[in-house]
Amino acid sequence: MKLKICGMKYQDNITQVANLQPDYLGFIFYKQSKRYFDGNIPELPKAIKKVGVFVDAEIDYILSKVKTHKLNAIQLHGNESADFCNEIKYQFERSREPNDNTIEIIKVFSIKNEFNFDVLKPYEAVCNYFLFDTKGQLPGGNGYTFNWEVLSNYPSQKPYFLSGGISLNETENIKSFLGSPKSKYCYALDVNSKFEIEAGLKNLEELATFKTDLSF
């Protein structure tokens, strides 16, 4: 099981969180977000993948951030179509230089109490991962979980990130979920707002406890 810590914002905090050795760190390039990232990402261990989070952004804007920050993954949190995902991959490969990172595409889908999994089909061939988050007023960072039982009907073999309001209080529920058949294709847990002192500033002690409790 992988761990993604999203909504990173402050330089010193980024470095401190990186010392916990998560698998992914997420940086939000959406100006309406309280966790909007508008700085320079400090040097990180090569084992940590840098994820840029975008919401209905233009392809040129996305690719400029990929190049500037040497991102390893693009997380699409809006209404991006499968064709849009495919075009990003095409444009990235077309402009990629020999020393550039490869890129992963993570497409987000929001769930509450039910979900029509048929919407995933067009994305199967153009995304590396799906991410399931809680449907709310904001595109991410709403701070509460969705009904994980919905994933009992997951029809795909595409690995996915589980997100949405995950906190220390959910540890036992997560263990139960991970021990059930519905977690078969769960690739990573994605945490954000429930591990914060304030928007974008992560609580190192709580993250360390969470990481230890779930044996990441």
Specify the CATH number for the domain of residue 39.
Answer: 3.20.20.70
Determine the Cα–Cα distance for residues 15 and 44; give it in Å rounded to an integer.
7
Determine the Cα–Cα distance for residues 53 and 108; give it in Å rounded to an integer.
10
Q: How much is the pTM?
A: 0.95
> For position 96, what pLDDT does the model report?
87
Residue 7: Cβ-neighbour burial (10 angstroms; 0-12, 13-18, 19+):
buried
Contacts of 47 by beta carbon, 8 Å cutoff, 6+ apart: 21, 23
CA angle in degrees (0–180, nearest 5) for 116-121-123: 115
The one-digit pLDDT tens for each residue of the chain (216 residues) are: 999 999 999 999 999 999 999 999 999 999 999 999 999 999 999 999 999 999 999 999 999 999 999 999 999 999 999 999 999 999 999 988 888 889 999 999 999 889 999 999 999 999 999 999 997 655 555 567 899 999 999 999 999 999 998 999 989 999 999 999 999 999 999 999 999 999 999 999 999 999 999 988
Domain range holding 140?
Answer: 2-213
Determine the Cα–Cα distance for residues 89 and 13; give it in Å rounded to an integer.
31
> For position 100, what pLDDT does the model report?
83
Determine the Cα–Cα distance for residues 211 and 4; give it in Å rounded to an integer.
11
> For position 37, what pLDDT does the model report?
97
> For position 138, what pLDDT does the model report?
59
Domain count, the chain: 1
